[in-house]
């Protein structure tokens, strides 16, 4: 892999992130959704760059000691380069610094690659949200990771 850098998302990254949402998701976030999320200081949004070019992003809302991962997305030409894993690891570290003890996410039942990534990052199956997604209608799998359990503290 070329030079990977992960940094906090900036307002000027939002149009790019919204375009990647359209590429990768059937119900993409719009620019105003990213802006609203980015304006809340407790939320954490990161961008991965390969040789200075934006390659992927990840976002998390935090409430008290819980973090809900809202997106993990990598541009198609950068997929398979472990950028998603690097973003997950960086987000976990940023969350840990912010006092997050448990992470949650949901993923389309058919998204085997994402499920594999989350499992390999220590996320466990928690349940199903029936018919959670649209276009097409599909169940969402709920997953979680408890840092205390993982660290043994």
Residues designated as active site: 106, 118
Q: Which of 92, 79, 25 minimizes the C-alpha distance to 34?
A: 25
Annotate 49-78 with b (16+ C-beta within 10 A) or e (fewer): bbeeebbbbbbbbbeeebbbbbbbbbbeeb
Containing 51, the helix (H) or strand (E) segment is none
């Amino acid at each position: 892999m070329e030079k990977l850098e992960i940094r906090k998302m900036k307002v000027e990254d939002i149009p790019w992130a919204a375009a990647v949402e359209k590429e990768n998701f059937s119900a993409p976030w719009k620019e105003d959704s990213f802006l609203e999320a980015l304006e809340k200081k407790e939320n954490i949004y990161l961008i991965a760059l390969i040789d200075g070019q934006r390659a992927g992003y990840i976002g998390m809302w935090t409430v008290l000691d819980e973090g809900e991962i809202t997106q993990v997305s990598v541009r198609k030409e950068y997929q398979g380069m472990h950028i998603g894993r690097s973003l997950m690891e960086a987000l976990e570290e940023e969350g840990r610094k912010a006092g997050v003890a448990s992470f949650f996410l949901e993923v389309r039942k058919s998204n085997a690659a994402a499920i594999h990534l989350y499992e390999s990052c220590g996320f466990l199956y928690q349940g199903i949200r029936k018919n959670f997604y649209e276009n097409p209608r599909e169940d969402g799998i709920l997953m979680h990771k408890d840092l205390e359990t993982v660290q043994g503290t």
